[in-house]
Structure 1
Amino acid sequence: MSDLAARLRTLPAFPEEMAEFDLDSLPDDPNQLFLAWLEEAIASGARQPHAMTFQTLLADGSPVGRTLILKDLDEAGYHVSTRNTSRKAQQLREDPRAAMTFFWRESGRQVQLNGTVTALGEDISQRDWLARPTADGQPNPEWQVYALQPERIEFMQARADRNHVRAGYVRTGGRWSHGAITTPAG
């Protein structure tokens, strides 16, 4: 084992006290659970609880990720924004499949979503642009809000013994089904 590996093993991982994840009381709609976890992260004072890794696909199918912030969640999906001239916007035009990974280290929780992204209307995009702290009051025709409509969502609550508790949701025909995900530790 290298010195780096030995040092990395000594770093703190999860908080000492973490919430229980009751798989018997999962809501039918995963967005309800996501919003509950997000609200708990906000209430805890977690820094940027709306930040996530947003993954798109390169032309050769390789994934590429970057950190974005969630702008909204509604019937269209999970909103993010960018310039329509950005690399991620180009990647979404070429392949609209994307994924988001939220991680709240303060609670040991993670949510992964994947699905298809669509560009939302100009009115939504301009409202978002004008609400930015750096907006000068002028519209920005390059600004675009996108919504990821998830097809799969996985919720994970960490445990100190690394036997993390996971629940998965899958949307088929417009309806969600869910259940525990059992995988060995590691």
Structure 2
Amino acid sequence: MAQWLRAQGSLVGTAPPFDVAALPDDPVELFLAWILHAADAGVAEPHAATLATVDAAGRPDARTLLLKDVGPIGWAVAGRRSSAKGAQLAAHPVAALNFWWQPVVRSVRVRGPVSEATRQESAADLAARSASARAGIPPEDWVLWRIEPEHVEFWQGAPDRHHTRVIYERTGGSWRRSHMTI
């Protein structure tokens, strides 16, 4: 298996130009540019991401879901309060979110504390789902959560393996930004 895995292609997409000298001060602005670029490049479901939480024993747990919104107050995801994800977020309100857009050789990681949106925002998110997707979900069981980012990392791969990594760290009410080629 190890030989087979080594023989598989990697970083076979086409990375767009990335000017680190022109980075915005806020990671949301860069994220919006990147997700829209991924969609324009034909990435299927660019709003799909892996959400990682922590279970009762402190073990990481991950699943794929859809991003519901992004803005100054965080990256929003939703689900049932009664799910494993809901129980984990209630017990340990922290999470990481990871986007991987293979055709454009880019990924974004978001980490931070999680808070519940208002009951009205959660209800509006549930109402926006199709009737079949709403079937069997009591409104009080549906929650919109927001990951309030403390760390946002943008990664762009390169065929020569000199990948670019841009990291935004929240310090107080502002962002500190750094970048490196690794």
TM-score (norm 2): 0.93
Q: Deviations over 1:128-154 (max 9, x none)?
A: 111112236x96221110000100011
What amino acid is aligned across from residue 20 of structure 2 in structure 1?
Answer: L
Among the aligned pairs, what percent are the same residue? Answer: 39
What amino acid is aligned across from residue 42 of structure 1 in structure 2?
Answer: A
- Asked if the contact 1:129–1:139 (Cα under 8 Å) also holds between the matched residues in 2, the reply is no
Alignment partners' CA distance in 2, 1:132 and 1:16: 32
Please name the residue that 2:171 is paired with. 172
What amino acid is aligned across from residue 105 of structure 2 in structure 1?
Answer: G
Mapping of residues 77-96 of structure 1, within 5 Å: 77-96=74-93
Q: Deviations over 1:43-68 (max 9, x none)?
A: 12211100111000112322111101
Please name the residue that 2:22 is paired with. 25
The ranges of structure 1 where at least 4 consecutive aligned residues each deviate by more than 2 angstroms after the TM superposition are none
Please name the residue that 2:157 is paired with. 158
Alignment partners' CA distance in 1, 2:60 and 2:88: 10
Alignment partners' CA distance in 2, 1:125 and 1:16: 37
TM-score (norm 1): 0.91
* Greater helix proportion: 2
Say if 2:146 is the partner of 1:147: yes
- Asked if the contact 2:55–2:88 (Cα under 8 Å) also holds between the matched residues in 1, the reply is yes
* Unmatched tracts of structure 1, length 5 or more: none
Q: CA deviation at 1:119?
A: 0.4
Please name the residue that 1:49 is paired with. 46
- Asked if the contact 1:77–1:148 (Cα under 8 Å) also holds between the matched residues in 2, the reply is yes
Describe the SS at the equivalent of 2:39.
Answer: helix
What amino acid is aligned across from residue 142 of structure 2 in structure 1?
Answer: W
What amino acid is aligned across from residue 172 of structure 2 in structure 1?
Answer: G
What amino acid is aligned across from residue 145 of structure 2 in structure 1?
Answer: Y
Q: CA deviation at 1:76?
A: 2.2
Q: How many residues align?
A: 180
Question: Which of these residues, 105, 110, 127, is aligned with residue 107 of structure 2?
Answer: 110
Alignment partners' CA distance in 2, 1:161 and 1:6: 21
